Each structure stands twice: as C-alpha cells, then as structure tokens.
Amino acid sequence: PRARAAPPRLFIKHEKEQAIVEIELAPLLKSNGKEATHIIKRIIDRDRGSDRGKGAGASTYFINGHKSTLKSVKELVSDRYHIHIDNLCTFLPQDKVGNFSGFDKQALLLETEKSLSGHLYNTHQDLIELERALQSSGTDVATIENELAKLTKENERLEREKELMEERQSYLERIDLLKKKRAWLIFDQKREEAKAAKEQREELKRKRKEAEREVRPLKEKHADVAGKHSRIESRYKAVETKIKKDKKAYDDCLAKADRYTDEFGNELSEYHTIDAQQRRAEKAVEKERLRLEQIEAEGNEYPSMEVIDRTMSEKKVEMARLKAQKVSEQRQVSGVIERIEDAEMEKKQAAERLAGLKDDKALRLQMICQRIKSVGDAYDFIDHNRKMFRRKVWGPIAAEVQPNNQKSASYLENHVAQNTWKAFVVECKQDYDLLYREVKQKLNISINIIMVNNGQHESRPRLYSDARMEVLRQEHGFLDYLDETFTAPGPIMGALIDRHNVDRVLVGGDAVHNSLERKDLIEFLSSKERGPGKQGSCFFYTYKNSSFKYTSQVSRYTGLIGTQTDDIGQARLLRPGSDPRVKDQLAETIQKSDEIMTTLQPEVDATNARIHELNVHGGTISQQFKDAKRTKTEFGVYKMKLRNQRDKLEEAQEAASKDNDKEKAKKVAKIKKLVENSTAMSESAADMHNQIMKGTHTLTGVKMSEDGLSDSLRKLADQLQEKQAETADLANQYKAADNEYNQKKGILKKLLKDAETIAPKEEWHERLEKEDLPENLEGVEDSLDEAENKVNSITDNPHVMLQYEQRKKEIGKLQEQLDEVGGEKEMKKKQLNQKLDRWESALINIVEKVSGKFSAYMKEVGCAGEVRLHTGGKDATENDDGENRCYNFKDWGVEILVKFREVSSLQALSAQTHSGGERSVSTIMYLMGLQNLMASPFRCVDEINQGLDERNERLVFKRIVENSTMPAKSSNSDHCGQYFLITPKLLPNLDGMENENITVLFVFSGTHNFSNCLDWNVDKFIEDKKRFLSQDEEQESSSSRKRRSK
C-alpha cells in the first residue's frame, strides 16, 4: 500500500503470513578496538493486533536476537547513532517538503543544529536560559529594595500598635479588679434575698398546719352521713326489686287467664260443629270411591311387566354392542387425530418461529443498538421524537439494507466504511441541523449524519456501457453491479452511491479468477470508452469457496495501473439476524406437517362417517329403551296412585264411622276445666296487684329519706372540698417558697464559690477595699462598662510584638541579599560570554560553509541561492546603564534565500511564494550543503524528485550522487554517510548510475512475483532472451525466403 499511515499488516507479501525486516547498522569502534554491530529485526504477523489499533500490535522487535520493544529501538538509534527520525534534515518524506520550506528562521536553525550536533543545540538552549536569567536578575535588585522599604514602613506601624496594646493591658487589669469586686457585691445582695425567702417559707408552714387541723372534723361528719346514705340506697334497691318481681307475676297470671278464655271459645265452637263434620265425612267416602274406580280403569291401558322387562333387556344389549363398536372406532381414529394435532401444533410453532426470524431488519437493528451504545442512544432519541423532524429520518444504514444473500452481505460490508453503517440519513438541511444540535451538542452522543437532499440522488451513467457489460458477463464471469445485490430505501441507496460508489463496483463468480489468470482483464476494465487515459476499477469475485476484492488504481505519477487484492471475510453487521439453516429447517418442518395432515385426513373423515352412522342407530335404540323404561316407571307410579287412593278411601270410611255422643262428652269436660283454670288465674292476679301497691308505698318513704341524706352529704362535701382546696393552696405556696429558698440558697453557694475562685476573701478583701473602686454594685457595673468600651476600642493583636521583632530580622536578611545579588549576576554574565564565543564562532563557520556550497549547487541548476545567519538583533538594544546587553538568542535563525529568475532578487524560501518544484530544488540543495556536516550515519528522502521537471531532476540526481559517494578521507568512520533515495520512478540515462557505490533496490509485490528473491536469475534471463531473439531472426529470414521464392 502507498499510504504511509497504513496498518503494518498490509505490507506483508501476498499469500504470506509474516513479513521480516532486518537492518544492520554501521559498526561502531569500542574502546578495546573491536567493532560492535547492532542488528535490528522486525517481524510483522498478519493474525496479530486489533483492527481498531491499525495493526500496531502485529509487530515484534529484536535487537541482536533478543526480544525488545519499539521504545528501546528508538532509544538505541537516537542515543548511540544520533539518528533522529523526526528531524526533517535527516529524514524528509515527499509530503513534508512543504513543511520544511514553511519553517521560519528560528525553527530551521533548531532543526539544522539537531542534525549537525547535539552539542550545538544544547548550547543554544543554555544561552536562551542564561539570557532569561540575566534579564530577570536586573529586576531582583529593585524588588529587594522595594521590599526593604515596605518592611521598614510596616515596622513603624507596628511600633504604634505596640503602644496601644500596652494601654489596653492596663484597662484589662482594672476590668479584672472590677469583676472581682462585683462578684463579692453580688454575693452580699443575694444573701439578703435568701434571708427574706427563708422567713416567708416559715410563715407559710405555720398557716398550712392550722388549715390541716380544721379539715379533720369535717371529714369525720362527711363519712358518717355517707354511710347512712349508702344503707338507705341499698334498702331502696331491695324494695324496687321486689316490686318488679310482683309485677311480672301479675302480668303472667293475666296472660294465662286470657289464654284459657281463648281456648274455651275454640272448644265451644268445635262442640257445635261435630254434626256438620259427620255429614262432610260421608260425602268424602263417596268421592274417594269414585276416584278409585277411575284409577283402576286406567291400569287396563298398560302392557304386562314381563313384556316391558323383555323389551328393556333386548335394547340394553343392542346399545352395549353399538357402544363397543363406537369405542373401537373412536380409539382407532383418536390416534390418527392425535398425530394430526401434533403435526398442526408443530407447524404452528415452526410458523411462529419462522415469522420472527424473517424480520431481519428488526433483529439487525436490535443487534447494532446493543453492540454500539452511541447508535442505540441516537436511535432511541429519533424514535421517540420523530414528530420534531420535517421529513423521515432513516437509519442506522446497516439496519435499512437487505442483501440478497450472505455473499452479497460480505461484499457490501467490506466495501462500505464502518462509520457509514452507523450513520443516519436525513432528507433536508433543517433536519440535519436539528439532529446534530439535539443529539451531538445537547446530549453529547456521537452520531454520523448523511444528508440526501429530498431523499433522492442524481442518476448518473454506469461506469461501463451495456455492450461492455454484456461482454463482461459472457466472457469474464461478472454477474451484476454491487448496488443490484441488495435492496434499500431510496435515501439509503443514494447515500451509499454518493459515499462509496456501489453503482460502479462489479460482482462476479469463479470465472472472474480464470479471466484474471488467462486474459488481459485489468487492461480491458481500465480502458475508457470515451476519451483518452485510463480509469480505476473495483470488483468482487469468488475462487475455491473464498471471496476476494480486486482494486486497481492509476498512478498519478507514472500513469501505470497498481492493483491490490484483499481477502473477504464473513459479514458481521449485515449478517442475517438468524441462522439461514434454522429457517430452512423450520420451512421443512412446516412442509412435513402439511404432508402428514393431508395423508391422514381422509382416514379420519371415513372413520367419523362410520361413527356418525353408529350414533344415529344408537340414538334410535336408546330412544326405544327410554320409552320402555318410561312405560315401566309410569306403571310403577300408577300402582302407587292406586295404593294411595285405596288408603284415602279407608281413611274416609273410618272418619265417617266415628261415635259423635262420646266426642261431645269429651268436649264438655274440657270446657269445664278451662273455666276453672281461668277463674284461678284471675284471683292470683288480684293478690299480686295488692302486693305491688303495698311495695310502692314503702318505696316512696325510702326515696324521701334518701333525698334528705343526699342533700346533707352534698353540703358537707362542698365544705370539705373548699377547706381542702385552701389547705392545698397553702401547701403549694409553702412548696414554692421552699423551692425558691433552696434555689436562692444554691445560687448563694455558687456565688460564694465563684467569688472565692475569682478573688479569695482572705487574699483580696483588704486590697479591694483599699483600691479606688466603687462601693455599690451599680457603680461597679458602670466602671466595668467604661473600661470594656476602652478595651474594645483598641484592636487586640497579641502577635504585634512578635511581628515587630520578626520584621527587624527580615530587614536584616534583605539587606544581606541586596549585597549578594551583584556577585551572582556577574557570574552568569561570564558563563554566557564563554558559551557565546564558542557557539557563535562554530555556527558562523557552519553557515558560511553551507552557504558557499548551497550557492554553488544552485548555480549549477541555473539559479542563485544564499544561506544567512540571523542574529536576532543582538546589537540593537541595551539597558540605560549599558550593563545588560540583549542578545535575543531565541530569535536567532537560519534563512534560505533563493532566486529562480534573472530579473528577480534573492527572496526567503516560502511555501506561499515558491512552487513545489522550486521548494524541492532548494530543499535538496540545502540538505546537500549539510551532507558532510551531519551527525547521523545515513539520511533518507522520499520522492523528492516527483515535483521536478526533467532538467532539474537530472541535475539534482547528479548532485545527490556526487555528494553521497565521496570516498572517506582517512578511515571508514569519517565517510559522508549513506544516502537513501526512495522513489516510484527515475528518468532513464541518469548521470552517475554507473557509480559502483550506488545500490539499486527494487521492491516487488503481487500475486505473480517470485516467492523467493533467490529465484531471480539474471544470467538465465539473458540466455532466454537471446534464444527468443535468435528464434525471431530465423522466423523472419524464413518468411523473407518464402517471399523471394514467390
């Protein structure tokens, strides 16, 4: 592959699994005189490394046979051999020529220094740092002086604060005395309050005892009256209970008397109806006799029981036979029906599974959303907010495409980039902006969006005409274009055509491989039908059950066709959502189930028809059996009716034959008994009524006594409650007074303790009396407030004395620093001058040498050139005192001046001013001027000649050969270095190609090249060529003789 950033695995030779690159670096002499070589080997494996990592993990590195890392290899070539891969003066690829000519003066000097000597570059960096330090040292003195003045002024302020703090301390001492005095004054005041509280408590205690003595007689009298009231209340309840019992007995006697009276009336009524009942019984006997005769007449219509039993037995046997036959038929058909039902169930299950598996779009969408979270999140937003968009939003594209088969899926997935498969398609600019803003900017979800305007892509002609396509089908085995191997909605198809030209990619079979081997297929595909020139092509084909992608491109430099063949793996994103083999198995299951049901259904229908005939015949026999059974049942009912009617007739005859006189005598005796019972109950009720009236009189007297006692008890209770409330109030007052006294006593103890703690009486009493302090509490409080106000007006700064002394020490240190700064500055200035002299002289010498060679080389190609050293305006600026000179080392640089036309003047080389060829000539000539001065053992340029015309290319090549093949002056170690020129082509008959120090390396790659480079035999090639030429001469002489003979 041509891409410099391509994965390393693509550099492996066709049909090989590994590539090995081995480099042996130029020997270095050890201290013992022996030579030490370093052999660096890189092995690239096709199967190692991930696709996303671009194959970085596919390489393994070795140094002198020992496994190593890429980092160690870079350190070895950089530290030991002074080879800097990123230095464009040493390694210059063709695409970096613009970068080289775009360097400013400063960057070009740094790159030149790196390529010549690490010492020059490091000295330059040291000078920049020393100049920066000297520039900052001038400001250090002023900084120290300013800081010294600042600290002196601050110390004066601290001295004033110290005086205020001493005044504040005197007030704090007076506050302490006042607080001690106040503590004893508060104690004396609280002691008087405690004495008064104690006297009040003793008075309340006396009053409480007197009230308790007055309550005792009232309690005794109240208890006596309460006992009498309780006894009267018990008697009242007993009398009331007796009255209730007597009243209940009275009510019971009245109820019984009424019941006896009712029964008397009923018995008397029945006595008068005995004769009428006799007449009704005689009529009932005649009626029942007539009904018995009718029932006996009905029995003549029924057959005999023997006939009925025989008929039922025969029908029962016939029904059993038909049932057995029906069961046999059903058992036979049930197995068949069960097989049909199993087939139907299996078909239904297979059909349901097949329907689910056929929805490849839904399954593929689900798979993509699960595997790629950003795509799933973006799809969820679009699906839930489709009303926001003006037109339909499609995607992801992988879910919208339906390949015709698995092979088409593999071709399509290989040809289209992964980012495109994850993209969504919109049909207008407004939807594009809305989707990008909502998903990418607001939700921070990564999304790819493709716009197909109005959902339609512009139609364009096919790459090949119909006639040429027909030739490709008939003679070369091509089948279709890639866009014909799948289906997709219009906007999706438009996106794939616009992005990946799926309408210009061919798809073929095994015959394409044969055509590649035997026919000039690539030339045929690359030739344009309209206009001159050639065109690239791309197609897929199969060979030996494997798939390949063949791509051809036309080189923009040589015009030749470059080809590339890639293996095609199985599709991943576009693979079916389910296994096709499972679909085929399910379809086969459905077909087998249909065949089973079709085969068995006629047998089931015939058996069902026979069962139906048996059911009809069995129904007739069953009905005859039921009729016989019903007749037997009805005959049994008839016999029961007959027995019942005879029983009724006997009962009626018995009722009509009763003795009426005896019945009347019984009634009379019962009536007399009822009259006696009723009279006795009435008399008992009268006795109970007299008892009730007597009890009511007694209850009234007891109630009046109870009311009198209740009134007396209530008055005593009121008096007792009033006296008890008075006593309780006195007790509460005493308790409150006692609590108050105890509280004041506790406070007094605490105040005494606090006063003794603050100012012990033995120690401070006499002093507090002698001090000029107020004698009362109010005066002490006023004096204390005044002193605290004075203290609060002065800000407390306990560290002021410490700060004062600390500032003094800092002032002394700054004074010492001020004295030392001058010496350090002189030392750095001396170091700078020493480094500057050596560095500047070496740099001027190098620039003069390079400029002389560069001018001569540019003159050889008919141009002019010069290399100048830019010193950054070192003599332009000085400080006012003339001490600090400004060199501006960071602005020093190297400037390349060129002139390509006679009328123009020298101009700085620029990517904006000069053409690509002019920049290439200037760049290579500058590098040639540096050739003998570089530290790296070899240099490399890539395609530097591609932008040159033929004249300049020949002159540049000649200069490269002369500078790179100069012999060593004294030993192999001082040679001018190896020079690698990488190019896809060279002009014929170049000067210097016959030089023995030039080695030409051809890189061969492709399907038809030698498997081993040793297979290339030049002598055999020349011998074969001579033989072919001699054969051609013989054929030509033979044909000429034939023409002369004619």
Cα–Cα distance measured from residue 150 to residue 808, given in angstroms and rounded to the nearest whole number: 12
What pLDDT, in 10s, does the model give residues 501-536?
999 999 999 888 888 877 678 888 888 887 788 888
pLDDT for res 428: 93
In this model, does residue 15 exceed pLDDT 70? no
pLDDT score recorded for residue 902: 80
* CA–CA gap between residue 437 and residue 277 (Å, rounded): 113
Selection from 12, 15, 4 nearest residue 567 by Cα: 15
Query: Do the beta carbons of residue 378 and residue 445 sit within 8 Å?
Result: yes
- Structure letter (DSSP) for residue 80: T
Q: What is the pLDDT of residues 210-260, one digit of tens each?
A: 877 777 787 777 788 788 778 888 878 888 888 888 888 888 888 888 887
Contacts of 782 (CB under 8 A, 6+ apart): 774
d(CA 676, CA 678): 6
First to last CA, the chain: 58
Give pLDDT tens digits for 693-722.
Answer: 887 888 787 778 778 878 887 887 888 788
Per-residue pLDDT, 427: 93
Three-state DSSP state, 594 = helix
Residue 20: closest CA among 77, 58, 70 = 58
77: which residues sit within 8 A by CB, 6+ positions away? Answer: 25, 40, 83, 85
Q: State the pLDDT at residue 777.
A: 76
**Residue scoring higher pLDDT (195 or 1018):** 195
pLDDT (tens digit per residue) in 991-1018: 777 777 888 887 766 556 666 666 667 7
pLDDT digits (tens, 9 = 90+) for 859-918: 888 899 998 888 876 654 444 444 556 778 888 888 888 898 887 888 888 877 888 788
Q: Do 809 and 170 meet the contact criterion of CB atoms below 8 Å apart?
A: no
Average pLDDT over the chain, rounded to an integer: 79
Do the Cβ atoms of 98 and 83 come closer than 8 Å? no
User: What is the distance between the alpha carbons of residues 218 and 719, in angstroms, rounded to a whole number?
Assistant: 8
Highest mean pLDDT out of 20-34, 184-198, 786-800:
184-198
Among the listed residues 529, 518, 535, the one whose alpha carbon sits nearest the alpha carbon of residue 467: 529
What is the pTM for the complete model shown? 0.38
Quote the DSSP letter at residue 621. H
Q: What is the pLDDT of residue 599?
A: 86
Which residues of 190-325 form beta strands (DSSP E)?
none
**498 or 996: whose pLDDT is higher?**
498
- pLDDT at site 882: 45
Least confident of 16-25, 30-39, 132-141, 674-683: 30-39
Rounded CA separation 722/710 (Å) = 18
pLDDT grade for 1041, boundaries at 50, 70 and 90: low
635 Cβ partners below 8 Å, 6+ apart?
302, 305, 308
Task: Give the pLDDT mean for 139-148.
Answer: 70
Q: How far is CA 699 from the centre of its chain?
A: 95
Report the pLDDT value the prediction gives residue 876, as an integer from 0 to 100.
Answer: 44
For 317-333, write each residue's pLDDT tens digit: 888 888 888 888 888 88
